[in-house]
Amino acid sequence: MRVVVSIGGSVLAPDLDARRVEGHAAVIERLAREGVELGAVVGGGGVARDYINAARDLGANEVQLDQIGIDVTRINARLLIAALGPKVDPKVAHDYEEAGDSIRRGDISVMGGVMPGQTTDAVAAALAEYVDADLLVYATSADGVFDADPNVDDSAQRYEELSASDLVDVIAPMSRDAGASAPVDLLAAKLIERSGMRTIVLDGTDPERIERAVMRGEHSGTDIIPDGTADEPSYWAQR
The distance of Cα 109 from the centroid of its chain, to the nearest Å, equals 13
pLDDT of residue 85: 86
pLDDT on residue 15: 85
* Predicted local confidence at residue 111, as pLDDT: 98
pLDDT score, position 234: 60
Q: What pTM was estimated for this model as a whole?
A: 0.93
- Chain centroid to Cα 197, Å, comes to 13
CA-CA-CA-CA dihedral for 93, 94, 96, 100, to nearest 10: -20
Checking DSSP bridges between strand 222-225 and strand 199-203, what pairing results, if any?
antiparallel
Residues of the chain with pLDDT under 50: 177-180
Using alpha carbons, select from 161, 169, 239, 171 the residue that is nearest to residue 1: 239
Q: Which helix (H) or strand (E) holds 164?
A: helix 164-176
Q: What is the 3-state secondary structure (H, E, C) of 98-144?
A: HHHHHHHCCCEEEECCCCCCCCHHHHHHHHHHHCCCCEEEEEECCCC
What per-residue confidence (pLDDT) applies to 180?
Answer: 46
Phi, psi (degrees; rounded to nearest 5) at 224: -105, 110
Residue 154 identity: D
